[in-house]
């Protein structure tokens, strides 16, 4: 009840927040632009996947971290009311997740429905929304763990870079180092360490384009099959939402504000 | 009758003790001014009471209830923070509505008198992000008094307020005292302190140096002004 009220009013604030509106407009512009310049919708979709898998985590993470820092005094104001901290954090995280959902439905969902309706687009939309929620949870946790805004934003950027750049490099190095041994069983848990890779796997299994699937995607499809592969990848993404959320609640419950 | 009891309250941030072993009792129907130099622990003391900060040592009782995880004790507390920042995109009206909902008040049970008295009635549609610091303080004052609290905690309440609004807010605090409420105020403005305080709590480096009636402080130092009394009293500890 109280959590719903905190969520509602935070959402009202976020609805007028220029950053969220700008994010929705940017995603819309990129999506529309790619469908306009590429005549083949499948090719446009593949380009869109690459862009969204980098853009959405980055923006979700930075938006959440900055909003959490910028509204610290308001969090304090809520925390001195006769309401529990769980309701405060739940309401605020829920509002951020909903705001990003609406921004993505508008910016990405609309062009996908118009230009490439179908299951692949649906998987892309679901994977990207889950990715946004994963990074909302991670961003909240980062902001709660670090008092200094510049440090928090820096760690958020490093986290994003780790998922997008460093992880791939490490995976390639691992594959190269152990190329003479059967490491397929290891790839499943290793891929689970990167939510962006999980989203890419879920989408690429659906597209069934070997060249774009990557090694981990191919292993998922080979070991689990198409539909179960997508299901496992998406389920693991829920785990990526759950663990930072649970830790964030634990940290916030004891945090000095 | 005791309203708030601090028993051995200490707060450590890493290696720094912001508060050390504070024992203090605040009664109903009194205004206590918490004063001290910058960094003396005033805000930490207030944050401990409000549940924003968990004491490292000791405990705090509010109206007989030891502060713990249950936030219910804050129903009787109104607070006005030092610097008020609100969600910039909400309007004053939306914020008031939100806080009324969050505190479980109804339009009838909420005390909105200060909205009119502080000249906010015609500004309810203004976005909080567009307000001056002084107007934000007025909004903060409205929120503090709105639930008709029995305990009022104000951290530098008149900072940024024009003299008339500052007077209105302090008069309200005085009225709450006469209704049996407990008012805790931190301030650097000693004239303000002298005009309103029943007792003075002086903090220095996290330690409560004394908690005395204002008259005692003045008498012991042989002066009639707090600004002159404090150096004498601190040189010759109570």
- Residue in chain B lying closest to A72 (CA): B85
- Reading the block at residue B91, the tokens are 């309007």
In degrees and rounded to multiples of 5, residue B97 shows phi and psi of -65, -45
**Closest partner residue to A76 among B52, B54, B89, by Cβ?**
B52
Supply the pLDDT for residue A241: 96
Note whether A203 and A172 are within 8 A (CB): no
Residues 6+ apart with CB under 8 A from B26: B2, B3, B4, B5, B32, B182, B184
Q: Which of B98, B110, B128 to mutate to test the interface with A (most CBs of A within 10 A)?
A: B98
Does B87 sit within 8 Å of A13, measured CB to CB?
Answer: yes
- Domain span at residue A16 reads 2-254
Does A2 sit within 8 Å of B84, measured CB to CB?
Answer: no
Distance from CA of A1 to the nearest CA of B (A): 9
Per-residue pLDDT of B30-89, as tens digits, reads: 999 999 988 899 999 999 999 999 999 999 999 988 998 889 899 999 999 876 778 888
Q: How open is the CA angle B26-B32-B34, to the nearest 5 degrees?
A: 110
Distance from CA of B222 to the nearest CA of A (A): 40
- Residue in chain A lying closest to B47 (CA): A257
pLDDT band at B181 (very low <50, low <70, confident <90, very high): very high
- Its CATH architecture, for the domain B2-82+151-235, is 3-Layer(aba) Sandwich (3.40)
Nearest CA among A76, A256, A80 for reference residue B77:
A80
Size (chain A), residues: 257
A contact residues 144-203, partner B, Cβ 8 Å cutoff: none
- Reading the block at residue B38, the tokens are 């910058």
Supply the pLDDT for residue A110: 94
Residue pLDDT tens, chain A, 257 long: 888 989 998 998 888 888 899 999 999 999 999 999 988 888 888 889 989 999 999 999 999 999 999 888 889 989 999 999 999 999 999 999 999 999 999 999 999 999 988 888 898 999 999 999 999 999 999 999 999 999 999 999 999 999 988 887 887 788 778 877 777 777 778 888 899 988 888 887 777 665 565 666 677 666 666 777 788 888 899 999 999 999 999 999 989 99
Which residues does residue B11 pair with via DSSP β-bridges, in sequence order?
A: B19
**Closest partner residue to B74 among A15, A74, A80, by Cβ?**
A80
- Residue in chain B lying closest to A255 (CA): B53
A contact residues 56-115, partner B, Cβ 8 Å cutoff: 71-74, 76-85
Q: Is A77 exposed, middle or buried (0-12, 13-18, 19+ CB in 10 A)?
A: buried
List chain B domain ranges. Answer: 2-82+151-235
Which residues does residue B61 pair with via DSSP β-bridges, in sequence order?
A: B5, B66
What share of chain B has pLDDT > 90, as a percent?
Answer: 55
**Closest partner residue to B51 among A14, A72, A80, by Cβ?**
A80
Per-residue pLDDT of B183-204, as tens digits, reads: 999 988 888 778 889 999 999 9
Does A78 sit within 8 Å of B74, measured CB to CB?
Answer: no
What share of chain B has pLDDT > 70, as a percent?
Answer: 98
Supply the pLDDT for residue A210: 54
Which residues does residue B19 pair with via DSSP β-bridges, in sequence order?
A: B11
Q: What is the ipTM of this complex?
A: 0.86
Residues 6+ apart with CB under 8 A from A129: A100, A101, A104, A105
Cα–Cα distances in angstroms (integers) from residue A126 to residues A52, A109, B19, B95, in the given order: 12, 10, 50, 34
Does B98 sit within 8 Å of A81, measured CB to CB?
Answer: no
Instruction: Please state the domain count of chain A.
Output: 1
Supply the pLDDT for residue A221: 67
**Closest partner residue to A12 among B69, B94, B101, by Cβ?**
B94
Distance from CA of B211 to the nearest CA of A (A): 25
Measured between beta carbons, the chain B residues lying within 8 angstroms of A81 are: 71, 74, 99, 102-103
A76 Cα distance to chain centroid: 27
**Closest partner residue to B103 among A10, A81, A254, by Cβ?**
A81
- Reading the block at residue B189, the tokens are 């403005």
- Residue in chain B lying closest to A19 (CA): B89
DSSP state of B91: B
């Amino acid at each position: 009840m109280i959590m719903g009220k905190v969520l509602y009013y935070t959402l009202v604030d976020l609805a007028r927040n220029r950053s969220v509106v700008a994010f929705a407009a940017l995603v819309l512009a990129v999506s529309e632009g790619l469908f306009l310049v590429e005549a083949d919708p499948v090719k446009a979709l593949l380009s869109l996947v690459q862009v969204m898998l980098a853009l959405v985590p980055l923006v979700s993470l930075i938006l959440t971290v900055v909003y959490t820092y910028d509204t610290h005094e308001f969090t304090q104001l809520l925390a001195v009311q006769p309401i529990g901290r769980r309701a405060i954090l739940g309401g605020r995280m829920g509002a951020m997740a909903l705001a990003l959902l609406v921004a993505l439905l508008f910016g990405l969902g609309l062009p996908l429905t118009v230009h490439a309706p179908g299951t692949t687009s649906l998987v892309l939309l679901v994977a990207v929304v889950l990715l946004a929620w994963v990074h909302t949870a991670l961003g909240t946790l980062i902001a709660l763990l670090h008092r200094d805004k510049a440090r928090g934003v820096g760690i958020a950027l490093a986290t994003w870079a780790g998922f997008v750049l460093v992880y791939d490099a490490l995976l390639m190095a691992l594959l190269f180092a152990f190329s003479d041994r059967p490491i397929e069983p290891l790839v499943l848990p290793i891929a689970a360490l990167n939510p962006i890779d999980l989203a890419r796997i879920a989408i690429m299994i659906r597209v069934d384009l070997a060249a774009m699937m990557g090694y981990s995607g191919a292993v998922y499809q080979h070991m689990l099959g198409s539909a179960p592969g997508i299901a496992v990848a998406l389920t693991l993404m829920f785990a990526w939402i759950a663990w930072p959320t649970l830790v964030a609640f634990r940290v916030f419950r004891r945090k000095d504000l | 009758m005791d309203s708030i009891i601090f028993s051995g309250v200490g707060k450590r941030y890493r290696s720094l003790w912001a508060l050390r072993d504070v024992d203090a009792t605040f009664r109903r129907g009194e205004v206590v001014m918490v004063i001290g130099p910058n960094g003396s622990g005033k805000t930490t003391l207030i944050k401990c009471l409000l549940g924003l900060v968990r004491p490292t040592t000791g405990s705090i009782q509010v109206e007989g209830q030891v502060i713990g995880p249950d936030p219910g004790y804050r129903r009787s507390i109104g607070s006005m923070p030092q610097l008020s920042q609100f969600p910039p995109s909400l309007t004053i009206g939306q914020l008031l509505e939100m806080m009324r909902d969050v505190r479980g008040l109804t339009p009838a049970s909420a005390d909105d008198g200060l909205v009119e008295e502080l000249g906010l009635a015609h500004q309810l549609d203004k976005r909080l992000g567009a307000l001056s610091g002084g107007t934000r303080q007025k909004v903060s004052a409205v929120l503090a008094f709105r639930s008709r609290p029995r305990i009022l905690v104000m951290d530098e309440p008149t900072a940024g307020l024009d003299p008339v609004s500052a007077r209105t807010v302090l008069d309200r605090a005085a009225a709450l005292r006469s209704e049996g409420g407990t008012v805790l105020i931190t301030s650097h403005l000693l004239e303000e302190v002298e005009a309103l305080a029943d007792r003075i709590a002086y903090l220095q480096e996290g330690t409560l140096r004394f908690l005395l009636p204002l008259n005692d402080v003045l008498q012991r130092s042989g002066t009639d002004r707090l600004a002159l009394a404090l150096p004498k009293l601190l040189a010759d500890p109570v």
